[in-house]
Amino acid sequence: MSKEKYPTIAKALKAHALSYPETTEAFPWGESAFKVKGKTFVFMRADANELSFSVKLPHSRKQALALPGSEPTHYGMGAKGWVTLRPTGKTSLKLLQSFIDESYRAVAPKRVLAELDRTV
């Protein structure tokens, strides 16, 4: 993936994360944290040279870890199902968005998920 694509992909991932009900963005540690009802479902760091994001993947963790540039998230979060991805040009945006969807669903309260399922 060429360097100029990182901001474009980051913008698409941000828009996707913010499209879910009751989602907000915060900026701890110099990165974006997308939260639903105060619970983080995506951590993302992006600039012209790098894009990385972490998501909770209870179902597709193994698939995500098989992708180039991915690893269990540090700080003990990997043991709880979190994966950090550094997308390459071979990783489809649709797949990355599906990981965000899974993470949102893993973290969101049931009431919020019911709202999401009514709008889909």
Would you give per-residue pLDDT tens digits along the chain (120 residues)? Answer: 444 567 788 999 999 999 999 999 999 888 899 999 999 999 999 887 789 999 999 999 999 999 998 999 987 777 788 999 998 777 899 999 999 999 999 999 999 998 888 776
Instruction: Report if residue 25 sits inside a domain.
Output: yes
Is residue 36 within 8 Å of residue 70, measured between CB atoms?
no
The pLDDT value recorded for residue 4 is 53
Instruction: Report if residue 56 sits inside a domain.
Output: yes
Instruction: Report if residue 115 sits inside a domain.
Output: no
Structural domain count of the chain: 1
Structure tokens of 86?
């550094």
Instruction: Report if residue 58 sits inside a domain.
Output: yes
Structural domain harbouring 78? 5-110
Question: In CATH, what number is assigned to the domain containing residue 103?
Answer: 3.90.1150.30
Instruction: Report if residue 116 sits inside a domain.
Output: no
Instruction: Report if residue 117 sits inside a domain.
Output: no
The pLDDT value recorded for residue 115 is 83
The pLDDT value recorded for residue 80 is 81
Q: Phi and psi at residue 59, in whole multiples of 5°?
A: -105, -40
Distance CA 106, CA 96 (A): 15
